[in-house]
A = this chain, B = another copy of it.
């Protein structure tokens, strides 16, 4: 049946008959739908006041069909009658019918008029999933989220318009798995001047973010750093549990390095002869907040050289410095020993899924092989838009504006705590989008309970602690990780007030 040509190949497509359990029958049996509406009958359509008549009629008919008010098989009035009923031009109604038939909403058949098309029966409704955004917290001070209301919609759209208008046609063809060259050129330039990264565009691989980068390096037998000689990965004693879980699923053992006020104690690497790779957050230890001391920056690079190993530099919020000079990337010390990882997730939006890896030359091909040599992964359109956004200075402007905004928020947080909870120590505030509040030993859990009761979303330090770091190597401390970027401006002061309310009184 499916091979029989229809009379005229340009007839608008009928809705697919294969959707029915018995397609052959469905194609020949007359539709047993509800009674057809008579010619001229009132469809009770409300046309939107704004916009063109044709578009408004189409939208109203689609909505009536979608909602079930016009059931499959319902015969529509002739377009002339409908046009007269609605006071619109006949051509307009005829065009709307034809277009909806071409889209599969209506069926136009010689002699039997226009009917609502048979649709695939919906399946029984599936239970809603936990991802439903219904239970949002009253106050959101979770770390790692930039203020979603600060996304530069207008500037981004303008950059997108310029980028897509100027793009060569091949930009809409199969993508380069390494990433668009325009973006890699813009990033090489930007990262050199803003982050002290030493690279050229050929060593940059575009990916969808830090988690994608971790997967490309570690997940699966084809991963770039997988293999029998891989060994365990050194990580900081405090870090994101999500990353530890991803690594654990990939079969990577992690070895925690203790932290102090100068960052990760990289000298501890000497105790682990089997470790050849270390993942660090040198610009701003996550989540405790200090930069890696200059001597340790040099030491960890020396360690990597001596052991033939690698440093993975997670530069997740390097753009956000407030009170001191920006700390350049460790990658600049030795581009052949450091993999530099960054993204727009903090600086612009995690919704873009756009990140980058700056790689030692010898690793580029291995990462591309892990990525899939025909798999581009990241929207070329977003890549072109970001390249234009960087080149035109829009990215710098956006970072400067949000940096000012987040600094003001930090100042407000520090001032509010000084006034209302002066006994609470605050650290990690020179940079980034979050602060750490020290709590008295044994109180973290009860404070988090009070926060949850109040509808205040934030995290305790305990969640970030590596499960295998010993008390003797680094004593656990109670504390809160307070992200000050997530709320919209109008909601921020109330969130800080709620935080101050739930903080415990001095002992």
8 Å CB interface, A92-129 against B: 99, 102-105, 117, 119-123, 125-129
User: What B residues does A380 contact at CB under 8 A?
Assistant: 351-353
Q: Nearest-CB distance from A399 to chain B (Å)?
A: 9
Whether A272 sits at the interface, judged by CB under 8 Å, is no
Q: How far is the CA of A468 from the CA of B359 in the complex (A)?
A: 39
Copies in the complex: 2
Whether A396 sits at the interface, judged by CB under 8 Å, is yes
A353 touches B175 (CB 8 A): yes
Whether A309 sits at the interface, judged by CB under 8 Å, is no
Contacting chain B: which of A5-13, A415-423, A448-456?
A5-13
Interface string of A351-379 (1 = CB under 8 A from B): 11110000001001100000010111111
**What is the chain B residue whose CB lies nearest that of A173?**
B148
User: What B residues does A157 contact at CB under 8 A?
Assistant: 160-161, 164-165
Whether A15 sits at the interface, judged by CB under 8 Å, is yes
Q: Looking at A173, A193, A352, which has the most chain B CB atoms within 10 Å of its CB?
A: A193
A16 touches B174 (CB 8 A): no
A297 touches B18 (CB 8 A): yes
A18 touches B327 (CB 8 A): yes
User: What B residues does A3 contact at CB under 8 A?
Assistant: 291, 324, 430
A121 touches B198 (CB 8 A): yes
**What is the chain B residue whose CB lies nearest that of A222?**
B249
Q: How far is the CA of A407 from the CA of B13 in the complex (A)?
A: 14
B374 touches A17 (CB 8 A): no
Q: What are 25 A-B pairs with beta-carbon distances under 8 A? A: A2-B294, A2-B324, A3-B430, A4-B325, A6-B323, A6-B324, A16-B327, A19-B197, A19-B198, A103-B194, A105-B193, A122-B198, A126-B200, A129-B178, A131-B176, A151-B172, A156-B164, A156-B381, A160-B160, A173-B349, A211-B375, A350-B376, A351-B376, A351-B381, A353-B379
